[in-house]
Amino acid sequence: MKAGTTPLDLMNARMEAAHIRPDLQESLRQCVAIHTSPAPGLLIGAFMADFALELLGADPAKQKIFSVCETPKCAPDALQVIARSTTGNGRLKIIPIGKFAITVNAAADGPTAEAVRVFIDMKKLRNFPVIESWYANSPSYDKKTMDESLQQQIFRAGRDILSYEWVRVNIFGRSKWKPVTCSVCGEPVPDYLAEGDRCGACGSMKYCEKI
């Protein structure tokens, strides 16, 4: 790294060298800012989200986009930034299946919607051995020496490691609820989240103790 050259400078140069669209470059930078690092899965997730929106012909600035992410790692942040499907706005569901795949649809009336599922295609990955070795968590992948070529390959590959299929998804909407007061701590929770007469924190989801 030359003096004064930041990881972001390097990333920008690599994106330029790979002829990535300027608007997608900006999206990638926003993803990195939120994620706080240019993690490989985040960058691939950004290409996935961008591809899915184009296939849907959907614009997240003008319509609500619903997403499912099949991994909790990295890719959800790309969906939050690019598709504006967030856990907070209720339009991002993370299902920890452990596949690098996303399913995206535009808001629809009715109980189901047509969606596009974008995933890493193992056959296509063969053309990009560094990404393949990283993705397989292979012992041959050496983070110290291969991170640079991994990022270069990810930018060069873009969508070339992805495939897609059209699927039907159930719409996940807001459920109706009533408050239930926990018999232990006295705090209210929605009835569909209560565990009998207790809240989750006084039940199976206890995560802290008072000090």
Interface residue list for Zn ion (CB under 5 A): 182, 184-185, 199, 202
Q: What is the greatest pairwise CA distance in the chain?
A: 62
The residue (of 19 and 178) whose beta carbon lies closer to Zn ion is: 178
Point out which residues pair with 51 in neighbouring strands.
none
According to DSSP, residue 195 is labeled B
The residue (of 49 and 199) whose beta carbon lies closer to Zn ion is: 199
Least separation in angstroms between residue 177's CB and Zn ion is 17
Nearest alpha-carbon partner for 25 in 35, 39, 13, 36: 13
Which residues, 6 or more positions from 203, have their beta carbon under 8 angstroms from its beta carbon? 195, 196
Least separation in angstroms between residue 183's CB and Zn ion is 8
Least separation in angstroms between residue 54's CB and Zn ion is 46
The residue (of 107 and 184) whose beta carbon lies closer to Zn ion is: 184
In this structure, the dihedral spanned by the alpha carbons of residues 107, 110, 111 and 112, taken in order and rounded to 10 degrees, is -60
Least separation in angstroms between residue 75's CB and Zn ion is 33
The residue (of 98 and 179) whose beta carbon lies closer to Zn ion is: 179
